[in-house]
Structure 1
Amino acid sequence: MERMISTCRRVVTGLDDEGRSCVVIDGPIPDFESAIAAYAWRTESLPADNSGREDTAVPYEIDHLHSGGSNFALCTFPPCTEAYMHATDTIDYLVVLKGRVCMVLEAGEVTVGAGDFVVVRGVMHGWRNPFDEPCVCAVVNLPAGPVGGGRTI
């Protein structure tokens, strides 16, 4: 599978020793060899703590979705994969960067492609890629109150 993660540049700002704004990280998103996603950045809480210079990118884990913080990830949906239906107590913002993928919902599905923005508001959903190429999305997850039956993962 083609991996877009290692080719994406990540620029993170912070403060230098004199308290001036500067770039503290400039390089690729760490590739933790996850088949699902790689976090470009995450916070442990909201509001976020913007102090420090440490890299907060960590390997993708489902538990991070419900940690009370924010996640900024690059997700790859491999070709010819089926949907895993789930709900999370989050609001998810996705931008499709490359390829196409079908968002499967309880009442139907919609195909989204490069340039499309998607907002998933805690509802039951899944991702199915019936196409011959991977789909790559930038995703932000933020905590949200449950809707419907609440989270399943």
Structure 2
Amino acid sequence: MPSALANHARVITTLDEHGKSVFSTALPEEAERVSVQGGAAYFSLPYVTGEWPVDLNNDKDLERYEAFLAHPPGVTQQGGTVMRTVDFPPLSLSPMHRTVSLDFGIVTAGEIEVILDSGETRLLRVGDICVQRATMHAWKNPSKTEWGRMTFILAPAQDLEHKGHKIKDEVVEQCPRQRFMGRMDDIPVRPGPSLTNLDGRLTTRAVSSFSGHPISHL
């Protein structure tokens, strides 16, 4: 299913030889979008950094970003940051998942519902922000007709423990009958491989289906 949302510009600034601010021509201003699972969702990667603080000298960060476009990171990038957009088709639902990272998610088109494993939900509208702090969650587009888009900025977190238990990246097995609509107590949870270390094209399972768990349609 082709995304009904227009592609977005990615405008990057730099300095010219005189120290004046100019727009970089190193990359096209239109960010590439990649279809995953035959149009189940669309991803783009507006920017990635491989270290923090970022080294801007001699456009090193731009060179690193170009390398990431050729060999994309996993959901997060250890030691750096990932900016990603996701287009959700109508009535789509992501797997319940967690990465040990701090994620800022901003709705930029449509409405997106965030579902937690406690059963709590919030409906986010354009301009609303969700701060994910290494918690289990799923994303749902409840609209029957409209696409939704979120822009995410993800930063890795230090090792995390809760009441003596180490928190890890994980993905919940799909459970079609429950559709994540009620409490999650009896839904089996499978620890996933480290999503921060998976790489490959944006069309790989690491990003498109959260390590083998496809985006479903309600």
Task: Give matches, 1:14-93, under 5 Å.
Answer: 14-25=14-25, 27-34=29-36, 35-51=41-57, 52=59, 53-54=62-63, 56=65, 58=69, 63-93=74-104
Q: Which residue, out of 98, 102, 122, partners 2:113? A: 102
Number of equivalences: 152
Cα-to-partner distance string for 1:25-64 (whole Å, 9 max, x where unaligned): 4621122334342110111111112231448262795625
Task: After superposing the two structures, state which structure 1 stretch, 53-62 or 8-17, moved more.
Answer: 53-62
**Aligned residues of 2:50 and 2:64 also touching (Cα < 8 A):** no
Corresponding residue number in structure 2 for 1:115: 127
SS in 1 for 2:76: helix
Task: Give matches, 1:136-151, under 5 Å.
Answer: 136-147=149-160, 148=162, 149-151=167-169
> What is the root-mean-square deviation in Å for CA atoms of aligned residues?
2.4
Structure holding more strand per residue: 1
Counting aligned pairs with the same residue, the percent is 24
Give the unaligned 5+ runs of structure 1: none
Shift in CA distance, 82/55, structure 1 to aligned 2, threshold 3 Å:
same
Cα-to-partner distance string for 1:50-95 (whole Å, 9 max, x where unaligned): 2314482627956251432111121112211123011111111111
Which amino acid is the alignment partner of residue 3 of structure 2?
Answer: E
Task: After superposing the two structures, state which structure 1 stretch, 55-64 or 140-149, moved more.
Answer: 55-64
TM-score, normalisation: structure 1: 0.84
Shift in CA distance, 80/30, structure 1 to aligned 2, threshold 3 Å:
same
